[in-house]
Amino acid sequence: MSLRDRKILTFDVVGTLIDFEAGLINFFRPFIERAGLTIDDATILSSFAAAEDKQHHLTPGIPFTNMLPDIYRTMAAELGLPSSETDVAGLRLSMEFWPAFPDSIAAMKKLRNHFRLVALTNADNWALAHFSRTLEEPFDDKVTAEDVEVCKPDPQVFSYARGRNSELGYRLKDYLHVAQSQFHDIGVAKRLGYQVCWIERRQGQEGFGGSPSVSETTTPDYHFATLAQLVEAVESGK
């Protein structure tokens, strides 16, 4: 199948379109410097990933956004960071300022010329509203963990999105799921029968960064380092 044969693209948002790793580092770096600690970026990200993985097991039914206070507390205990209620609340509030990847806005505008674009995010509606504004409102439809009441990799998130869009005539063969996270997206989408496109934002870097690790990497149907490369493949008719 050519990429142009698809009709609807579903997108992970945090990590694929929004550079949450940059957002995290921008948030934590001043705390670390004020505390006089020596902690590199890789340690910040791996600590976050481990804390998120823990919260997925403890509170699988709440949006990622609402996990962030407990993620901060876990990281603060591990890294020696301050943990006042203001500090704890700050991580969630920082989501408003997490940046888009440099190619996200232009790429989404081009993809919208060819496909229906749907956000499929573990964030809540509040956070997705901020991300959408940052991305210049690219989505035709939005599905959040707040809507579904579970987080990816729970397959109910994908089922909910398909149900919403089935009334428009879309079938599984029409979909391409586009995501960065092997943990949250690529593995489960592939098992559900989706064609998947892995945007490997950390290509060339070691480890899984701020995302929880997986024991086995799922082979995607399409594999690019950037969203811009996906656009090039679409526009070339591949």
The set of catalytic residues is 12
Pairwise CA distance, residues 49 & 56, whole Å: 11
Q: Which residue type does 55 have?
A: Q
* DSSP secondary structure of 76-142: HHHHT----HHHHHHHHHGGGGPPBPTTHHHHHHHHTTTSEEEEEESS-HHHHHHHHHHTTS--SEE
Q: Is 192:10 a contact under the CB 8 Å cutoff?
A: no
Pairwise CA distance, residues 235 & 93, whole Å: 37
Tokens 């919208």 belong to residue: 112
* DSSP secondary structure of 179-193: ES-IIIIIHHHHHTT
Report the length, in residues, of the chain.
Answer: 238
DSSP state of 45: H
